[in-house]
Structure 1
């Protein structure tokens, strides 16, 4: 049960001093049985007029702030420390009625999962749906095996390609190229499992790479997905690294659509030519030997 520490620094650089509007940060991890937050802080320069913490429609904590002064640089440092207990799902724990695909969600849960089962991107040529069905094993397929096989296939058959522009490529393009980023792989698998009737959501967070292991997607924010499996609840699947379960994954926010999970966004006042660039660094370390600080009080929750 390691204590993981994260320092996520984002720096926006400008040619001359510019003014800043409201910014929105997804930085506070979601508390759950496998990750318990011990400390969290946000450092902003120039200092903001005020900082608010509210919950969005998905229960994620959103931090809003507006820097008070004009400046040539905006620096946001998100620091956290949490107790991380990895969970590996077991097929034997899947509810009996959902042990194999196809199955139907319980009538009491189905209405709440409805939008999370609907594809978000049109699959005009049914390329994603056909690809998803290659993982079926005849009339019945063990549910967890199906999802695990899909996760492992993306990891082993696709080539990870870092891409720094915003957004994602379409799932059909990811399939055609057999390459993409963690965001692209998460969106592909979400659309694939939704085509089979599963409820899935996009996750943004951080990735820990233990000594001796190499994970794709470290050094920046990371993306993967969760699938709702009766008997197991929301299960993490990281197709970028072939991870099933929450090992090495730090969940910050879970949403229906990737556009709802931008880690940091905001506005500034100036000419387009004033923007020089953005630098992002993320350090995730094992801080088990350190003494944790108490979690600060959050306002307006």
Structure 2
């Protein structure tokens, strides 16, 4: 069980002191059977007038900070120590009725999965549908896990990963046409593709690290993005199309949502003279304590 030390620092800089509105901060990893928080610290400068915590509709931990001081810089510094027990591919167990595609979710699960099956992006020419269907065996049953694993591997194999510091995400159709994108673009493409096949899928935001010196991971920035698909028997299973892997080895979950816009790490407002904003910088450092492997991503969200 690797023990990790994680630092995530976000800094906003301004030409002159500005006033800060409410800020919503979602950088605390989720507690689960496979990741256990040992210690967490959230330091905000200038000191907020109030910080309150809540769980959103997906159970993500969110800090809400309000301010009564003006300043030229806003620094949000999150420090976390956690134990991480990643799930391996061979541990994915599937109910007999769902081992081959197509299948239908049970009547007990379907009411709670419907919103995660709904498509989020228009596809008038059914381009995403056609691309997703290439992974389905013609005229017969398709192994469910093998199909999802191959789709994950195909995105890594056939698309070119590029970093894009600007905010926003390509539409799945744009990613399919351009054959390149960021981790968040890949995640949204795969989510729409598996939803086109009738699967429930969710967007995951978190951190990526190298589990050992022999392994490497692509992606990152301030956060990494991947996909969760609901598979009867194992529940929500992680698929990382950027790295072509199944399971959460090297992946630390922070936020889970139906859509990417529900999983923004930091959001908020400020008021002051026009043109006051200078820049935003993000630095993420993850240390694997057992072998002192370090991964650093000093950039914006990929």
Q: Give the TM-score, by structure 1 length.
A: 0.93
SS in structure 2 at match of 1:175: helix
CA deviation after TM superposition for structure 1 residue 92, in Å: 6.9
2:229 is aligned to: 227
Please give the alpha-carbon distance, in whole angstroms, between the structure 2 residues aligned to 1:5 and 1:91.
26
Contact 1:128 1:171 in 2 (8 A): yes
1:194 is aligned to: 195
Contact 2:25 2:267 in 1 (8 A): yes
Contact 2:92 2:234 in 1 (8 A): no
Please give the alpha-carbon distance, in whole angstroms, between the structure 1 residues aligned to 2:238 and 2:273.
42
Q: Structure 1: where are the runs of 5+ without partners?
A: 291-301
Aligned length: 290
Deviations 1:163-190 (A, max 9, x none): 1111101101101111000110000000
Matched, 1:266 2:257: no
Q: Choose which of 250, 271, 288 in structure 1 pairs with 2:252.
A: 250
Deviations 1:265-297 (A, max 9, x none): 00000134111110001111112489xxxxxxx
CA deviation after TM superposition for structure 1 residue 45, in Å: 0.4
SS in structure 2 at match of 1:103: coil
CA deviation after TM superposition for structure 1 residue 39, in Å: 1.2
Matched, 1:128 2:118: no
Query: Per the alignment, do residues 251 and 91 of structure 1 end up closer, same or farther by CA in structure 2, a change over 3 Å counting?
Result: closer
Q: Structure 2: where are the runs of 5+ without partners?
A: 293-302
Please give the alpha-carbon distance, in whole angstroms, between the structure 1 residues aligned to 2:134 and 2:198.
15
1:297 is aligned to: none
1:214 is aligned to: 216
Matched, 1:108 2:104: no
2:298 is aligned to: none
Query: Per the alignment, do residues 65 and 168 of structure 1 end up closer, same or farther by CA in structure 2, a change over 3 Å counting?
Result: same
CA deviation after TM superposition for structure 1 residue 156, in Å: 1.1
2:295 is aligned to: none
SS in structure 1 at match of 2:280: strand
Per mean C-alpha deviation after superposition, the further-off stretch among 269-278 and 100-109 is 269-278
**Post-superposition, which runs of at least 4 consecutive aligned residues in structure 1 deviate over 3 A?**
89-92
Aligned residue runs from structure 1 range 133-212, under 5 A: 133-138=133-138, 139-209=140-210, 210-212=212-214
Please give the alpha-carbon distance, in whole angstroms, between the structure 2 residues aligned to 1:92 and 1:40.
30
1:37 is aligned to: 37
CA deviation after TM superposition for structure 1 residue 114, in Å: 0.5
Please give the alpha-carbon distance, in whole angstroms, between the structure 1 residues aligned to 2:26 and 2:238.
19
Deviations 1:56-111 (A, max 9, x none): 01111110002331111100011111111110233872100000110000100000
Please give the alpha-carbon distance, in whole angstroms, between the structure 1 residues aligned to 2:45 and 2:76.
7
SS in structure 1 at match of 2:188: helix
